[in-house]
Amino acid sequence: MPVTASAVTRCRTVSMDAVPTRVRAARSCASRSVNISPDACPMGSALNRFGRNLPGSGEEAERVVSMPIGGAVEISDLEAELSALGGRMSALRQTYGSPADEIQGALDAILLELDAAEELIRACIAEIRDKDRSGRRRGGTAEREHRLLRQAFRDLPIPLFLLDGKGAVRRVNNEGAALLGFLVGYLTGKSFPLFVDLSHRAVFRSHLSAVLRTGTRAAFDTRVIRGSRTQEVRLALAPLTVSTEPEPLVTVIAMPPGGEAAAVPGTARPAAGEEAGEDEAPAVAAARRLDVMTRMSRLLLSSPREPRTLAPAAELLAEDFADWVVADLTGEGREVAGPDSDLRKVLGQLDPAAAPAVREALETGTSRLHELIGDEGLLGTLPEGRPVLPALDARSVLTVPIAGREAASPALRGGGAGPLGALTLVRVAGHEPFGLADLGLAEDLGEHLALFLSRPAP
């Protein structure tokens, strides 16, 4: 940091009447033989010159300093000057034992050194203030530019997402959040493939990997999940390299199919039998859950105790609560209810242990809610190797144990018997995903089924 010499050393024009007492004392000190040699204290030679050359009254007095006059002084020069100042002060400390009549001259020399130190400090403070003001001006301009860019990103009239190398959402603008039907804060940090329709997710991941690997752009048609419906969009992916980021990022722009300039959120494909843009009222959904529980209780109370009762129970749930229902009983087989008879037969022959979600419920008695499906293999794979969930066009999944409260909780059952089975519920794309209220109902249904199967035969 350069320090201007004019801020450190300058000439002052004063009359002898205005010369400070310590300066006039320095003249008398220099005229006497003060015991400060030029070799031991460089200030001594300055004092001698000061004393010899100090003019009389009405003439100009010039302060002699050791820093160069004119131009700028670098940090190294300033450090050297401060080091020299420290050496001179150390030499002056040795005069403490001098005779009393010589002490006054040493004190005057010390005052001159302090004056020089004050000038150096003031010069440093002035330079720091100048740098600070200049930095604040530059920083203020940069901050204004950042605010402008952030505002432009937020208010851009097209859905825009910024993804990291793993597909997680780093930034999303207001139009992007509106497209998916969530708040910006909720989407930030989430994996973007979760919001791509399950049947299109593998294609999206392939394009994302290719963009990151080759650095080229890609554009393709797909479907994204928006609330209880799906939205047909065209996604444009482009790599973005930022010097402050260790890995490249990917920008994603959503447009209507055909690649128009802007997407219009709210044109999602409505579910069968529903008006576009209308969601169930909470009171209606609660009434439907209560109706499901009432009908299930009536069915179980009027049926004999046998595993065959699971078939009508699964059909009831598939009619009013879920699109696909899979009920597994340990050692008793599997019951499947759903709209496709051929697929029902295939699912009925699959091994429950090959489905991670079902196996977890059977082994640990744990309930799981997958509002957004992140793992396509939760329910295993079909014989041809295709995951079950994409084949069902699944939107969300619930798995609960068929067990009483003690058997469902490992902490309560201790070493006792585990769950009697597991109940798996699936809702397909176009229907409202399962929520926490649905999870509570499913757990109650699992407990009712366990009580029904555990009651003694008449």
Q: Which amino acid is at 71?
A: G
Domain-wise residue ranges, the chain: 3-131, 160-255, 282-454
pLDDT at res. 430: 77
Q: Which amino acid is at 20?
A: P
Tell me the pLDDT of the chain averaged across its residues: 74
Please tell me the distance from the alpha carbon of residue 219 to that of residue 34, in angstroms, as a whole number. 89
Q: What is the pLDDT of residues 374-390, one digit of tens each?
A: 888 899 999 998 899 98
Beta bridge partners of 221: 234
pLDDT of 9 strictly over 70: no
Q: Would you place residue 136 in the very low, low, confident or very high pLDDT band (cuts 50, 70, 90)? A: low
Cα atoms in the 13 Å half-sphere on the side-chain side of 329: 18
Average confidence (pLDDT) over 436-444 = 91
Are 406 and 399 spatial neighbours (Cβ–Cβ below 8 Å)? no
Question: Which pair of structure tokens corresponds to residue 292?
Answer: 């499901």
pLDDT at res. 302: 84
pLDDT at res. 63: 36
3-state DSSP of the chain: CCEEHHHHCCCCCCCHHHCCHHHHHHHHHHHCCCCCCCCCCHHHHHHHHHHHHCCCCCCCCCCCCCCCCCCEECHHHHHHHHHHHHHHHHHHHHHHHCCHHHHHHHHHHHHHHHHHHHHHHHHHHHHHHHHHHHHHHHHHHHHHHHHHHHHHHHHCCCCEEEECCCCEEEEECHHHHHHHCCCHHHHCCCEHHHHECHHHHHHHHHHHHHHHHHCCCEEEEEEEEECCEEEEEEEEEEEECCCCCCCCEEEEEEECCCCCCCCCCCCCECCCCCCCCCCCCHHHHHHHHHHHHHHHHHHHHCCCCCHHHHHHHHHHHHHHCCCEEEEEECCCEEEEECCCHHHHHHHHCCCHHHCHHHHHHHHHCCCEEECCCCCCCCCCECCCCCEHHHHHCEEEEEEEEECCHHHHCHHHHCCCCCCCEEEEEEEECCCCCCCHHHHHHHHHHHHHHHHHHHCCCC
Other beta carbons less than 10 A from residue 341's beta carbon:
8
Q: What is the pLDDT of residues 321-377, one digit of tens each?
A: 999 999 998 888 888 998 888 888 999 889 988 999 999 999 988 899 998 888 888
Burial group, residue 184, by CB count within 10 angstroms (0-12, 13-18, 19+): middle
pLDDT of 408 strictly over 60: no
Q: Would you place residue 85 in the very low, low, confident or very high pLDDT band (cuts 50, 70, 90)? A: confident
pLDDT at res. 264: 44
pTM of the predicted model over 0.85: no
Gyration radius of the chain over CA positions: 42
Beta bridge partners of 334: 328
Q: Which amino acid is at 268?
A: A
In sequence order, what are the residues at sequence separation of 6 or more whose Cβ sits closer than 8 angstroms to the Cβ of residue 365? 401, 403, 407, 408, 409, 410, 413, 418, 419
Looking at 3.60.15.10, 3.30.450.20, 3.40.50.300, 1.10.1740.10, the CATH number of the domain 160-255 comes to: 3.30.450.20
The interaxial angle of helices 42-53 and 21-31, nearest 10 deg, is: 100
The yes-or-no answer to whether 160-255 and 282-454 have a common fold is yes
Q: What is the pLDDT of residues 416-426, one digit of tens each?
A: 567 889 999 99
The length of the chain in residues reads 458
Q: Pick from 161, 164, 165, 191: which is nearest to 178 by CA? A: 161
Please tell me the distance from the alpha carbon of residue 177 to that of residue 158, in angstroms, as a whole number. 11
Average confidence (pLDDT) over 309-331 = 88
Top-confidence residue, 211 or 14: 211
pLDDT at res. 248: 87
In sequence order, what are the residues at sequence separation of 6 or more whose Cβ sits closer than 8 angstroms to the Cβ of residue 399? 357, 358, 360, 361, 367, 368, 422, 423, 424, 425
Which residue bears the tokens 């009651």? 455
pLDDT of 312 strictly over 60: yes
Please tell me the distance from the alpha carbon of residue 263 to that of residue 222, in angstroms, as a whole number. 14
Q: What is the pLDDT of residues 274-302, one digit of tens each?
A: 443 345 567 787 888 888 899 888 888 88
Cα atoms in the 13 Å half-sphere on the side-chain side of 353: 2
pLDDT of 52 strictly over 70: no
pLDDT at res. 422: 93
pLDDT at res. 406: 60
What is the second-level CATH architecture of the domain 282-454?
2-Layer Sandwich (3.30)
Which residue bears the tokens 């022959």? 349
Average confidence (pLDDT) over 144-168 = 87
Q: What is the pLDDT of residues 387-404, one digit of tens each?
A: 999 888 888 999 999 987
